[in-house]
Amino acid sequence: MNNIFIIGVGLIGGSFALDIKALHPECKVFGIDTTEAHLEEALQLGVIDEKANFEDLNKADIVIIAIPVDATLDVLPKVLNHISDDAIVFDAGSTKEDICDKVRNHPKRRNYLAVHPIAGTEHSGPKAAIHGLYKYKTNIICEVEETAFKLQEKALKLFSDLGMRIRYMNPKAHDKHIAYVSHLSHISAFMLGKTVIDKERNERDIFDMAGSGFASTVRLAKSSPAMWTPIFKQNKANVIETLDEYIDNLKHFKQLMEDNDFEAVYNEMEKTNHIKDILNGIQ
């Protein structure tokens, strides 16, 4: 593992780069990005060692694609066209079904591992990259059987070195489940933020009353629309299904309040408190 190529030198790709450089100082990390300012910033911050282009990928040992999922559909086949037979390529996209379908018949499908590390922050760009982002985080791997075994081993060794926990899942199940635990959370945060901003136009002091609870709940609304709009588009059917269920629950809660049935309101919240036991069990 000598030459690491990071395509997309922001939070996700940059954090991989920082930890790989710390664990394997002998490695050289190359950056590819459509934004020249990001490459310059990544160089200055020491996230990457050198700028590169697609023609350089023939010397890559590992290629990490960390760009919006719509761009990945175009970039992944191009990357596979350029790499050597011994290189492993993985992406970090939050949707997997369309991406796996895109390269299903590619001659170098065996060189690609479909990966989704469940990690991140609301920040973006090279300056958002941090050490230890992936430690103890779950990493979902899809269609592992489609990847050459020796190349799987190379990637799995890296994930182990980073302290990640591995789960295997088929792409369809991944996209359905992630709509509930990630995509819906982001939509909720964006819409809560919108609701408060709309209200704030008339009541300028509303944010003076916003405590840590509001800040933590709306945190995801600071996430990049350029990243999340393509995710919602690719996972549209699953996201709409989760929104329907979420909206039904909101309407039910509203109806209980309109009916002055606060015993039922209490019971609804008490039942939902069970989520803390579930989350404590997966820490």
User: How far is it, in rounded angstroms, from Cα 30 to Cα 7?
Assistant: 9
User: How far is it, in rounded angstroms, from Cα 235 to Cα 251?
Assistant: 24
Which domain CATH number covers 121? 3.40.50.720
Q: Are residues 165 and 187 in the same domain?
A: no
Q: Are residues 71 and 182 in the same domain?
A: no
Domain that holds residue 37: 3-170
Q: Are residues 62 and 111 in the same domain?
A: yes
Which domain CATH number covers 247? 1.10.3660.10
The residue ranges of the chain whose pLDDT is under 70 are 1, 201-212, 278-279, 281-283
What are 125-141's pLDDT values in tens digits? 999 999 999 999 999 99
Q: Are residues 142 and 44 in the same domain?
A: yes
Q: Which of 170, 186, 221 is the last residue of a domain?
A: 170
Q: Are residues 163 and 185 in the same domain?
A: no
Task: Tell me the residue length of the chain.
Answer: 283
pLDDT number for residue 201: 66
Q: Are residues 101 and 21 in the same domain?
A: yes
Q: Are residues 45 and 114 in the same domain?
A: yes
Q: Which of 146, 170, 194 is the last residue of a domain?
A: 170
pLDDT number for residue 223: 87
Q: Which of 149, 170, 191 is the last residue of a domain?
A: 170
pLDDT number for residue 6: 98
Q: Are residues 110 and 219 in the same domain?
A: no
| Number of independent structural domains in the chain | 2
Q: Is the pTM of this model over 0.95?
A: no
CB of 239 within 8 A of CB of 228?
no
Of 73, 59, 63, give the one whose Cα is nearest residue 113. 63
pLDDT number for residue 88: 98
pLDDT number for residue 168: 97
pLDDT number for residue 46: 95
User: How far is it, in rounded angstroms, from Cα 200 to Cα 188?
Assistant: 18
Q: Are residues 277 and 263 in the same domain?
A: yes
Q: Are residues 154 and 258 in the same domain?
A: no
Q: Are residues 130 and 215 in the same domain?
A: no
Average confidence score pLDDT of the chain: 92
As given in the structure block, the two tokens for residue 91 are 């992406």
Residue 241: left if φ>0, alpha if ψ -120 to 50, beta else—which one?
alpha
Q: Are residues 272 and 183 in the same domain?
A: yes
User: How far is it, in rounded angstroms, from Cα 190 to Cα 184?
Assistant: 10
